[in-house]
């Protein structure tokens, strides 16, 4: 199903029948992706008295309770409410869902005991391209990312200068295949988050960060249209399903 999207006075064609899903689903077991020292998520039949919400146990319906944390257990999109005293809901801040995006692949560089993504790397990958969103795939890019427990592993992160570069380029939506844009243990500084949302000056209330994505190796670097949808939770972050569409007429 080919449809046309008008962007910057030009018409671009995408095939809606060929979505490229870059989200990690929530499964509710020990093999689920995990971060921030939490137990695995749970998807279990609701129990009340003699009632067990499972058809195979005699119920008329499957009726599951789900326990999870969006920051730890699933691809999620967050707004500046993640780090502000004032409440901000990503469901209220994200009001558009289609964006001109660029997929880039980056090999984090060693810096002391850390692996980091630098401004130089992003500048090289993006150059003068004008985009609303950037999707960062890190290498090595193994399927095991979809089941990785990141707690106490010191995953790669973005340097503050790298976030400043993205802000200066006008990137509103940043998507990464990491549990955070910041260092796992940084004493609560969250310099990358604060930089991207510009909380010290004029907060970028319409900007979002999406973490714990997975970009399959078959998806090539380059421009796409991004459909960024979040579950309608009134919360600083919500499970999300970012989907890419290849542009047919570039």
| Phi and psi, residue 10, nearest 5° | -120, 150
Please check the confidence at residue 20 and state whether its pLDDT lies above 90: yes
Please check the confidence at residue 8 and state whether its pLDDT lies above 90: no
**Topology of 2-26+70-246 in CATH?**
Glucose Oxidase; domain 1 (3.50.30)
Does this model's pTM top 0.95? My answer is yes
Interior/surface letters 148-180, b for 16+ CB within 10 angstroms, e for the rest: bbbeeeebbbbbbebbebbbebebbbbbbbbbb
* Contact residues for 157 (Cβ-Cβ < 8 A; gap 6+): 114, 116, 117, 178, 180, 181, 182, 183, 184, 192
pLDDT digits (tens, 9 = 90+) for 114-130: 999 999 999 999 999 99
Please check the confidence at residue 249 and state whether its pLDDT lies above 90: no
pLDDT of residue 187: 96
pLDDT of residue 7: 86
Q: In the chain, where are the structural domains located? A: 2-26+70-246
pLDDT of residue 66: 98
Residues β-bridged to residue 111: 114
Q: Which residue from 140, 73, 70, 71 is spatially nearest to 108, judged by alpha carbons?
A: 140
pLDDT digits (tens, 9 = 90+) for 217-236: 999 999 999 999 999 999 99
User: Confidence class of residue 213 from pLDDT cuts 50, 70 and 90?
Assistant: very high
Residues β-bridged to residue 106: 138
User: Confidence class of residue 38 from pLDDT cuts 50, 70 and 90?
Assistant: very high
pLDDT of residue 250: 79
Whole-number mean pLDDT of the chain? 97
């Amino acid at each position: 199903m080919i449809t046309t999207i008008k962007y910057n006075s030009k018409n671009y064609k995408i095939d809606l029948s060929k979505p490229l899903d870059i989200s990690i689903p929530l499964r509710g077991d020990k093999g689920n992706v995990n971060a921030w020292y939490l137990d695995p998520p749970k998807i279990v039949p609701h129990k009340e008295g003699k009632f067990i919400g499972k058809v195979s146990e005699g119920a008329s319906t499957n009726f599951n309770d789900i326990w999870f944390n969006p920051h730890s257990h699933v691809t999620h999109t967050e707004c500046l409410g993640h780090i502000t005293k004032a409440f901000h809901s990503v469901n209220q801040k994200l009001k558009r869902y289609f964006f001109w995006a660029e997929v880039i692949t980056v090999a984090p560089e060693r810096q002391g005991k850390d692996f980091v993504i630098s401004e130089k790397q992003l500048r090289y990958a993006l150059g003068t391209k004008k985009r609303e969103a950037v999707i960062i795939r890190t290498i090595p890019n193994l399927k095991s990312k979809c089941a990785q427990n990141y707690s106490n592993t010191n995953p790669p992160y973005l340097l503050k200068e790298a976030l400043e570069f993205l802000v200066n380029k006008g990137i509103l939506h940043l998507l990464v295949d990491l549990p955070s844009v910041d260092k796992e243990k940084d004493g609560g500084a969250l310099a990358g988050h604060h930089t991207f949302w510009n909380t010290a000056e004029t907060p970028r209330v319409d900007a979002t960060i999406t973490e714990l994505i997975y970009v399959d190796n078959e998806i090539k670097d380059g421009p796409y249209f991004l459909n960024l949808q979040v579950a309608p939770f009134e919360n600083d972050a919500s499970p999300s399903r970012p989907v890419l569409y290849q542009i047919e007429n570039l």
